[in-house]
Amino acid sequence: MHILVTGGTGFIGTALCPALLADGHQLTLLSRRPQKVFAAYQDRVRAVRRLEDIAPDVRIDAVINLAGEGIADRPWSSQRKAQMHASRVNLTEELVAWMRRAAWRPKVLVSGSAVGWYGDQGDKILEENASAHEEYMHTLCEDWEQAARGAERLKVRLCIVRTGLVIGRSGGLLKRMLPLFGLGLGGRFGKGEQWMSWISLSDYVDIIRFLLEQENLSGVFNATAPKPITNAEFTSTLARLMKRPAFLLIPDGVLKFAMGEMSCLLLTGQRVLPTRLLEQKFYFNYRVLEDALRAEIGV
């Protein structure tokens, strides 16, 4: 297939694109920095700055939409929220508008979202048909998903991927935590009772490939491992594997003071299950957190 990828130079995209190339697919990456794409892939991948740069007679068979400014990279000022919204919602709307104009419409759109869609619901088990708790992350993800649903009106198969915490040492939360834990400065956030629904980077890549290939599948899919864990369990597991203590406790009040509204990312969570993927017999290489962490940190 000829696949258009957004977010292809990010943490997840840099793992996904080589896998797609190994599968024999042709890739076009939408990127503000085409030179970065060329440096990574030379002439194996084409990069465009704008959707309008894709020639009308070029046939795109599938679109993978992973672009978005980092949720935890900067404090949630009104300006930052506008950037996060535009990089997800506005871009997805532009993708759907481009599909509407295209002479050859893609067969499938695999579009990102996050388990933050569900909001903070304590210990409640959340499957794809669960309702949401209204809060900022839900609103952002809901707008993102609604923008993607425009593809359904064009008869394009749509798969929305609600992603959990992606476990990979090259990015995300784990990259931030490893130096601290290596110095023995690891610890839980607040009481540590909040749930962390996670997915290994390699399993996430396989989920995207699976959804591309299974032409009968559409709708929402939770991209999380079958066994979510609490923050306290995550902390103790990582510390044990790194053979370091993790006695620190960062109180709720300190995180709220330091991070403001963004502290909800660390102090609340979702207990999410990948029910629809399990029903489709998707095979998870890493169902248990310890196995995923061992694979990433090499212990």
Average pLDDT, the chain: 94
Q: How confident is the model over 138-157, as a mean pLDDT?
A: 97
What pLDDT score was predicted for residue 123?
A: 95
What pLDDT score was predicted for residue 35?
A: 81
Rank 71-80, 144-153, 248-257 by mean pLDDT and report only the highest. Answer: 144-153
CA distance 96 to 156: 10
pLDDT exceeds cutoff 90 at 39 = no
Reported as a pLDDT band with limits 50, 70 and 90, residue 185 is: confident
Residue 130 is classified by DSSP as: -
Q: How confident is the model over 126-147, as a mean pLDDT?
A: 96
pLDDT exceeds cutoff 90 at 108 = yes
CATH topology of domain 2-297: Rossmann fold (3.40.50)
Q: How confident is the model over 13-24, as a mean pLDDT?
A: 95
pLDDT digits (tens, 9 = 90+) for 69-92: 888 888 899 999 999 999 999 999
Helix axes 231-242, 289-297, angle to 10 degrees: 40
pLDDT exceeds cutoff 90 at 57 = no
Q: How confident is the model over 171-177, as a mean pLDDT?
A: 90
Residue 4 vs residue 256, higher pLDDT: 4
Q: How confident is the model over 188-200, as a mean pLDDT?
A: 95
pLDDT exceeds cutoff 90 at 228 = yes
pLDDT exceeds cutoff 90 at 37 = no
pLDDT digits (tens, 9 = 90+) for 263-275: 888 899 999 999 9
What pLDDT score was predicted for residue 291?
A: 97
Q: Which residue in this structure is represented by tokens 């990312």? A: 265
Q: Where are the domains of the chain?
A: 2-297
* H helix intervals, 132-274: 136-148, 172-182, 201-213, 231-242, 252-259, 264-267
pLDDT exceeds cutoff 90 at 258 = no
pLDDT exceeds cutoff 90 at 120 = yes
